[in-house]
Each structure stands twice: as structure tokens, then as C-alpha cells.
Chain A
Amino acid sequence: MPTSTSENATDEIQSAFNRHIEDLDTAPAWWKDSKAKAFETFASLEMPKRKDEAWRFATIKGLSLDSYAFAALPAISDAAKIVERSSFLEKCAGRFVFGDNETLQADRISPELAAKGVIWAPLREAIAKHSEILKDYFMKQEADLGSAKFAALHHAFLENGALLYVPKGVEIEDPFVVYNWSINAGVALFPHTLIVAEEFSKVKVVEANLSATEENAAYSCGVNHIFAGVGSSVDYTHLQNFNERTLGFQINSNIAGQDSNVKTISVNVGCQRYRSETHGQIKGSGSKVEMLSLAVADYEQEIDQRTLQTHSAPHAVSDLLFKNVLIDNAKTIFSGLIKVDPGAQQTDAYQTNRNLLLSNTAEANSLPGLEIDANDVKCSHGATTAQIEPEEVFYMKARGIPESGAQELIVYGFFEEVLERIDSEPLAENARRIIQEKFRKRLR
């Protein structure tokens, strides 16, 4: 197999995959076939190279998968405790708690919602029960921002995940919540959340990726796909707070149908190295897609975010805002592209990246791009990188706030622009708490 990992490691992944397929003996044949195909794709694609434009500025070494256990899951000893910790939102329409790809807790939907035809199922269950939906929607959005290999790996090894299907006209106020816990050391996680919102439906989903311990290193490669039908509204928030020994990938993509509203917000705090790819595909006219993110990177952390806003339909709006705070020797990469196809007239597309440097050795890379093929459009992008103005700190010190506190306050203020766009107050509060904890950890 032509991969750039060593011969042995490839063999190891191959035998891990064989084991994985054997374990799936009761799964339908189409499911196994699609996985076998995905594994072939994974094996045939090369590892990212330094000269790949999609990996520009990213550290290429250290992406090897050698030290992770694929499909071999150690037992989880304290499932109850993990479930107990999965509770930052009290009111939810449904909740799944996954730990190392296992379902630890599945809070089902109310009978009323079930009667309306809403489907909320762990993927393991859905493979048998809802194969029609999965055949149409599962892994049906390309990973076209550089991580096709890792998306194929995800598809091949994926064990579990969440399926949410909302039928036509059903509006659900309370959010659906998915917790993906990394528990044991060396485990490879493949969180998957698939959201299908039919015409004029309305739904909110929160996904939290967390580590049970601070020590156990893990590998996570998650995928989130959103299909927003005509006139639907999907609000998706992703909190990534893995421990600092995790190598994380998150490959997200959404398709916005006519007159739909899609909002995705991600809060990125954890991981030693984290790469996220977000593709907003505007396929229907009159739709609105918002893509928001904030990230705090410290010590040797590297947070690499790639985005694409593709406007294939006219009269649509997309708005992207990615804000990063960098401390110590941290490195961030923001690479974004707005692509307006021919004929996508009256497009309004915005892309903003703001980087705040709190140290002299942090490195912020910004690649804000535009590719415009239609003339009647309003598109703009902006990228700024700067440190905190000494005047701002002075102002606060003059009012009795110590320097470190002043810096922290400015950071919170900097993030508020994103946080205040989270609709649910408890969720926004939780995001604030995660960020504050990161700062508090630094004082320890």
C-alpha cells in the first residue's frame, strides 16, 4: 500500500481494519462494502506533503498514525462518572454520550417527537434500522480541503456516532447534545454527527469533544455533515476541549438548500495539534450560512483551520468570522477561501480572521482567499494580527486590575463577538467557562 507511513505501520492498520470488518459480522453488506472502499481510498492517498497548498504552513511531521490503536477498544471502567460529567446543558431534546466510540448513554427523544417522525439514533443502531437515510446521506460530502485521506480513514474505522433526522416542518427548540469522550490512552476516536434537516424544519445540535483525563494521549478524527433542506434552520455548535496530548482532526461540511439558515460555531481549546476543515456549500438561493470559530492556543499547540465558502446559487449570504488568541510558542493557521461560481449573482460573502498575539514567539498565519467568478457580488475579506494595545492594559491597571488579569479580560472581550452569537445562554456560558479554565490552568 503506497502510504508514507512505514511498511509495518501500514500492515498494522490493514490488520486492524480486517479485525474491524470481522467485528461487524452482523452489519449489512453495503455498509461493509462502503468501508472497504473507504479503506482503499485511505491507502491509495498519500500523506500530506510540505509542498501541498492545502497544508501550507502546517507542520507535516507528527501526523503518522503509528502509535494509535485502531478498533481495539479497552474496557471503560467508569462509564457512570463520564455520563455524569456530560451535563452542561440541562434541557435537551436528546443526548448521546460516547466514550471511546462506545455508547455510554443514549437519552432518546420524547414520544411526541418520535411520532412526528424525528429520528435520533446512535449510528450503530441506525445501520440496521435506518439504512435508507444512511445510504443517501452518510459520508456524502467530499472532504475537499486537504484531509481526504483522513476522511477516508474515518469512514473505514468509524464505529459509532449520532444520526439526527428531522422531517418536513418539524421545529425543535431544545438542542440535541452529543458528547464524544476520549478515555483510554492510545485510542483512535472517530466521532460522527450527521444532521439531516428536511424542508422548513428547525433544529439545534451541540457536540462536545472532551477527554476524561489530562494524561491519556489519543487520536481523534471527527466528521460532521449537515444537510439543510429548503427553508430549514440548523444551528450547530462544536466544543473541542480534548486534553493537550490529543492529535485531533475535525472535517465538517454543510449543504445549505434554498432559503435555509445554517450556523456553525466552533470553540477550540484543546489538543496538542488540531486541524479543522469546514466547508460551507451554498447550493440554494436565498440561503444564509454563518461560520464562526474561536480558538485559544498556548505552549506548543498548533491549531490549523481551513475553510471554504462555495457559493453555487445566487442571492445567498455567507459570513465567516474566525478569531484566535495565541500565547507562548503557539501556532495558528487560518486558511479560508470564498468561491463564487459563475452565475451565483447577488452573493454577499464575508470572511474575517482576527489574531491576537499575547507573546512574542507565537506565530499566526493567515491565508484569506477569494475566487470570484460572478460580477454582481459583494465579497470582502479581512485579516488582522496584532498584540494588545499597551493603552488598553494601562487603562485597566490604572483601575486596579493587575496586568495578567487585564490581559485575560481583553481576551474575553475579544471572543465576545463570537460568543454572543451563540443563541443558548447556558451554552455560551459553558464556552466561556472552558476558555477561562484554560487560563486558570496556566496559573497552576
Chain B
Amino acid sequence: MPTETPTFDIDRDKGNFRYDESHKYDAGVGLNEGVIDYICDAKGEDDWIREWRKKALKVFESKPMPTHWASKDLENIIFEKIRYYLAGDTRSKKSWDDVPDEVKQTFERLGIPENERKFLAGVEAQFDSEAAYSNIKDSVGKQGVIFMGSTEGLMKHPEIFRKWFGKVIPTGDNKFSALNSATFSGGSFIYVPPGVKVSHPLQAYFRINAENFGQFERTLIIADEGSEVTYMEGCTAPKFDTATLHSAVVELVALPGAKIEYITVQNWSSNVFNLVTKRAIAHENATVKWIDCNIGSRLTMKYPGVVLKGRKARGEVLSIALANDGQHQDTGAKMIHAADETTSNIISKSISIGKGRSTYRGQVHMPKNLKGCKNNTECDALLINDNSRTDTYPAITVRGDENSVQHEASVSKVSAEQIFYMQQRGLSEGEAMSLSVNGFVNDLTRQFPMEYSVELKRLIELEMEGSVG
């Protein structure tokens, strides 16, 4: 097995510090069958997975970039220059003192606890997180919940995971789902047995980072009949990550009566292409709720979807996007109604600052022969500066009996009266602005778990700095 220990640079967004890293496994630059073999060997995967990956590679190569509708910025991704697999990080340990003050300050203002800060700064990488991850695993394991990495899940519990793996999002769904299918590593495979209600949220935060460089993580969550689970990813995911392309696939299966809530707070550094395919299947009476917050990245393209397959299934997407200078948040939602009396709700709020661009792209589909389906979509966009930009591109198709769809979108700016009022009471213009922006997203953030809404609020405050005056 070829093992090289390359040296490469890490481009830090803020702070701009670099250090060397070495990896036990490195598949090198570029993508070909050899890389796939390398990944399979390194992970010790079964042959069927190898075949599956290779097939996906062919699909990836045959598919064109979706630039006929998507941002031309995609053309700036150079697939030949990307490292598709790095693992077994033997990164040299750094002490908290080595972290630049600027970065420390950022953490301070974000209000991230001391331990977490160290983790985020890359000071204490896996050890703490592995431990935390194991703690969660033990406690839910007693309830029969399976919570493990993608490869491990496929190898140890094929009877559970193979059945749905790649079924919600087939390899050929789009170019990037094919890429993920070829190169996936990391991510979580979760199975919640019937009737089990997982009391605390499962966090992906730890999994992604334990894998390190998990640019192509793959997550599959199966909630069996009547079970409930909340999953969180990202959280304060390394703001200063180095990845240039992040392309995840997340599949959720909510069996009859199950409830899945999936929460993402994406805060990649502003040099990351974040192209993620997320979809859920909701069976009879099941509910799937995506909470999706996109603050970071250069270009995010992510449209969490729910296929409402069983009667009375419900799908929900709550989305917050914040696009600052040089960022394009192309987010949205898809609701595919495929059974009677299914309901869906999409609420999207976006904020564009400076030259930032936020886009809502949505699809609501109600085919014929369906009865009593309902969809509600609301998109609100807030523009902060003269050169900020926002777009809305929904696509709605309705047929069938007693189905109804309503879609509304609005675009506005922060009201001058509000700012004036707050300034009269001693707030600076910047403070007033960020308070106003937080008010704009408040009715959504209220629905988030507390620590997430607090963090999001701080992130918004941070991003709003320097956007006025």
C-alpha cells in the first residue's frame, strides 16, 4: 500500500496560519479507479462496496455539470487537484498558546466553551471528540440504537443499511451525489429501533472530525416505526477548515409514524464549495424536519428534500442563509408529494450582506391521483447593502384533487426607522443592524435547540460587523 507523507499548506480564512500535516493514508491528487481501490483497501471494504463505488465513478464522469441552471462558479472546481481521501491523521499537536490571538478572539465572541475552542482551533483534534462520541454511543446503544461510521455500518449491519443505502438518493441523482457515492468516507449510519425515542440529539460534529478531511461524508438515518431522533451536524464546525470541495450525501428514512429532525449549522470557511444532496423518505404518518442554516462556504448548493411517500406524511424545511462578500448561498427545498393527505411546509429566510448573494431554489410537486395534499412556502429575503443580491426560483407543479399550494416570497431591507429608533436609545448603527437582522430570523431560530439558536445569533452578529458604514 503506498503511503506517502506529503506536506501541504492550509489556507486559513482568518488568522492565516499554516502548519504541516502528515497522514497515514493519502490517496493522492485526482480521481480514478486507482483512488477508489486505495480507499477500499485503506478502509478494508467488502467487494460489493468497491464495485458500487466504481460504478458511481463512471456515472460521475458521464454526467455534465449542472451549469445550465446553476452558478457558473462550479466551473472553478478542478476535480484533478482535489485530494479525495486522507485519513489516519498524525497531525502534530499544537498548544492553545500557538493559536493566533485573532482566532482566539473570534472564539471568545462566539462564546464557544474552552474545550470546544481547542478542538476548533485544531489543537486537540480527535481524542476529545472520539471520547465524546463514544459517550453518546454508549448511552443510546442501551436503547438498541446503532450509531456508527458509514463503512462500519455497511459491513456490520448490511441487513439494515444496505436496504436503504443509495435508495433515497440514487447514485445518478446528480453529478455530486455520484462523486460522493464513489469516494464517500465518514458520516454516520444510524438505526433507531421501533418505538425508541432518542432523548438527546445525536451529533455528527464528532464523527466528521474524527474522520478528518471527511469531505465526502455519507449519512444514512433510519428511524423505524414510531421512533424519534434528532441529529445535529456541523455545529461550530471548523471555521478554518481547509477543504475546497465538500460534497456530502444524506439520506433519511422515516418509517411509519417515525419522526426525524435533522439540524445543520454550516459554517465552512469562505473557500469551500459546499455541494450537498439531502433527501428523506417519509412513510405513513411520519414527519421529517430539516433545519438548515448556511453561514459559511464560498458556494453552497443544498436543497433538502422530502419524498412524502405514505399517507399523512409531513415534511418541513426551515432554512436560514447568510451570504457575505464573495459568498453565494444557493439553498432551498424540495417537497415531492407521493401520497394522499401529505403536507409540507417550507420557510426560508436569507440575508445578503455586502456583495453576498443568496438564492432560494425550490420544488413542490403534486402529481395526479393524489387527494388533499397541502404545501405552504414562504421565502423572505433581507438585503443589507446596495450591492447585495437575492434570487428566488421556485418550481411548483400541481395536479390532483383538493390539493392546494401557496407560495409567497418577499424581499426587503432593514427599515431605517427601526435603526433610527435603536440609535436613539444608544445602540451603534452596527448593533442596531445586527439586532434587526436577528429579529428577522427570530421566528425561525426560536424553533431551534437552544444552544444552536444562541450560536446562530452570535454568528450573525459576527457577520454583520463591518457591514455598515
B397: chain A residues at CB < 8 Å are: 57, 363-366
Contact A363 B368, beta carbon cutoff 8 Å = yes
A381 interface residue per 8 A CB criterion: yes
Contact B390 A368, beta carbon cutoff 8 Å = no
Chain A proximity of B343: nearest CB distance (Å): 14
Chain B proximity of A51: nearest CB distance (Å): 6
Q: How far is the CA of A345 from the CA of B401 in the complex (A)?
A: 43
A370: chain B residues at CB < 8 Å are: 381, 390-392, 409, 411
A36 interface residue per 8 A CB criterion: no
A119 interface residue per 8 A CB criterion: no
Knowing A56-B395, A367-B394, A368-B392, the reply to whether A387 touches B403 (Cβ < 8 A) is yes
Interface 1/0 per residue, B385-420 and A, CB below 8 Å: 111111111111111111111111111110000000
Which one of A57, A343, A361, A366 lies within 8 Å of B368 (CB-CB)?
A361
Chain A proximity of B437: nearest CB distance (Å): 13
Q: How far is the CA of A138 from the CA of B451 in the complex (A)?
A: 63
Contact B411 A377, beta carbon cutoff 8 Å = yes
Question: Across the two chains, which residue of chain A brings its CB closest to B381?
Answer: A372
Contact A374 B407, beta carbon cutoff 8 Å = no
A53 interface residue per 8 A CB criterion: yes
Interface 1/0 per residue, A354-374 and B, CB below 8 Å: 010100111111111111111
Which of A53, A57, A383, A386: most chain B CB closer than 10 A?
A383
Q: How far is the CA of A364 from the CA of B402 in the complex (A)?
A: 13
A213 interface residue per 8 A CB criterion: no
Chain A proximity of B270: nearest CB distance (Å): 21
Contact B384 A375, beta carbon cutoff 8 Å = yes
Q: How far is the CA of A367 from the CA of B362 in the complex (A)?
A: 9
Knowing A369-B393, A386-B403, the reply to whether A357 touches B398 (Cβ < 8 A) is yes
A378 interface residue per 8 A CB criterion: yes
Interface SS majority for chain B? strand
Contact A53 B394, beta carbon cutoff 8 Å = no
Which one of B391, B394, B401, B408 lies within 8 Å of A372 (CB-CB)?
B391
Knowing A380-B410, A383-B407, the reply to whether A372 touches B396 (Cβ < 8 A) is no
Contact B413 A377, beta carbon cutoff 8 Å = yes
Question: Across the two chains, which residue of chain A brings its CB closest to B358?
Answer: A372
Q: How far is the CA of A373 from the CA of B386 in the complex (A)?
A: 8
A379 interface residue per 8 A CB criterion: yes
Contact A379 B398, beta carbon cutoff 8 Å = no
A437: chain B residues at CB < 8 Å are: none
Knowing A361-B368, A382-B409, the reply to whether A374 touches B383 (Cβ < 8 A) is yes
B156 interface residue per 8 A CB criterion: no
Q: How far is the CA of A371 from the CA of B358 in the complex (A)?
A: 10
Question: Across the two chains, which residue of chain A brings its CB closest to B375?
Answer: A385
Question: Across the two chains, which residue of chain A brings its CB closest to B414?
Answer: A375
B142 interface residue per 8 A CB criterion: no
B398: chain A residues at CB < 8 Å are: 355, 357, 363-366, 385
Chain A proximity of B290: nearest CB distance (Å): 22
B403: chain A residues at CB < 8 Å are: 357, 385-387
Contact A383 B405, beta carbon cutoff 8 Å = yes
A363: chain B residues at CB < 8 Å are: 368, 397-399
Interface SS majority for chain A? strand
A46 interface residue per 8 A CB criterion: no
Knowing A53-B69, A369-B394, A373-B387, the reply to whether A384 touches B406 (Cβ < 8 A) is yes
Contact B386 A342, beta carbon cutoff 8 Å = yes
B68 interface residue per 8 A CB criterion: yes
B391: chain A residues at CB < 8 Å are: 369-372
Contact A386 B395, beta carbon cutoff 8 Å = no
A132 interface residue per 8 A CB criterion: no
A376 interface residue per 8 A CB criterion: yes
Q: How far is the CA of A384 from the CA of B376 in the complex (A)?
A: 9
A343: chain B residues at CB < 8 Å are: 386
Knowing A360-B399, A380-B408, A384-B404, the reply to whether A367 touches B368 (Cβ < 8 A) is no
Knowing A342-B386, A385-B405, A387-B402, the reply to whether A379 touches B410 (Cβ < 8 A) is yes
Contact A376 B407, beta carbon cutoff 8 Å = no
Q: How far is the CA of A373 from the CA of B413 in the complex (A)?
A: 12
Chain A proximity of B376: nearest CB distance (Å): 10
Contact A386 B399, beta carbon cutoff 8 Å = no
Knowing A357-B398, A385-B398, A387-B402, the reply to whether A369 touches B368 (Cβ < 8 A) is no
Chain B proximity of A315: nearest CB distance (Å): 15
Contact A360 B405, beta carbon cutoff 8 Å = no
Additional 15 contacts, C-beta under 8 A, given A372-B381, A374-B386, A383-B405: A53-B68, A53-B69, A57-B395, A345-B386, A360-B401, A363-B397, A364-B398, A368-B392, A369-B394, A372-B390, A375-B352, A378-B411, A380-B411, A382-B407, A387-B403
The contact sample of 28 A-B pairs, CB cut-off 8 A, is A51-B68, A57-B395, A57-B397, A357-B399, A360-B368, A364-B397, A365-B396, A366-B394, A366-B397, A367-B393, A367-B394, A367-B396, A368-B407, A369-B394, A372-B389, A372-B390, A373-B387, A375-B352, A375-B386, A376-B383, A380-B409, A381-B409, A383-B406, A384-B405, A385-B396, A385-B398, A386-B403, A386-B405
